[in-house]
């Protein structure tokens, strides 16, 4: 019997201009090295999706989740480590200085705020992530439109 997939929570952080935050993973990362990514990660034992979401946002940016605007979707994928993951992503707003995220040293090297016109940047490492991030961020912008934001 195959093991249960690892559970992950992801945050598509939105600013007041309707842009979505992405950060570049370090080239030394085992999964998706040097790729753009949203904030998020694996659930710790006993942790809920909401708890993991809040923890990951704070760990990776220094910001705090202020409101969850909605669920973007659930994505199943197999990482280069061979492990299956199920990731649930949420559109969120955060508290903190949005011009100064505190990126995790050694894990992320840069960040940007994307508009829908900027989505092509997410294809830079498409061979590594098979276009998954572009799919997720595109869905995030669709949810933003349905919310009228």
Q: Give tens-digit pLDDT for 37-51.
A: 999 999 999 999 999
- Residues 115 and 21: their CA atoms lie apart, in Å, by 9
Q: What is the pLDDT of residues 1-18, one digit of tens each?
A: 567 899 999 999 999 999
- Of residues 147, 146, 136, the one with CA closest to residue 20: 136
- Residues 138 and 106: their CA atoms lie apart, in Å, by 27
Q: What is the pLDDT of residues 115-139, one digit of tens each?
A: 999 999 998 876 655 788 999 999 9
List of residues 6+ apart from 108 with CB closer than 8 A: 23, 24, 25, 26, 37, 60
What pLDDT shows up at residue 88? 97
Domain 6-146 listed as CATH 3.90.1150.10? no
How does DSSP classify residue 139?
H
Neighbours of 63 (CB within 10 A): 22
């Amino acid at each position: 019997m195959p093991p249960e997939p690892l559970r992950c929570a992801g945050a598509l952080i939105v600013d007041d201009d309707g842009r979505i935050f992405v950060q570049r993973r370090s080239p030394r990362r085992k999964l998706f090295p040097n790729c753009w990514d949203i904030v998020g990660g694996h659930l710790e034992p006993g942790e809920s999706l909401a708890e993991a979401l809040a923890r990951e946002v704070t760990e990776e940016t220094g910001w705090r989740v202020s409101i969850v605007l909605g669920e973007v979707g659930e994505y199943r994928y197999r990482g280069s480590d061979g492990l299956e993951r199920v990731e649930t992503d949420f559109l969120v707003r955060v508290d903190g200085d949005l011009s100064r995220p505190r990126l995790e040293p050694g894990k992320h090297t840069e960040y940007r705020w994307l508009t829908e016109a900027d989505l092509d940047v997410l294809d830079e490492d498409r061979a590594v992530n098979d276009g998954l991030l572009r799919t997720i961020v595109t869905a995030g912008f669709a949810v933003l439109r349905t919310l009228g934001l």
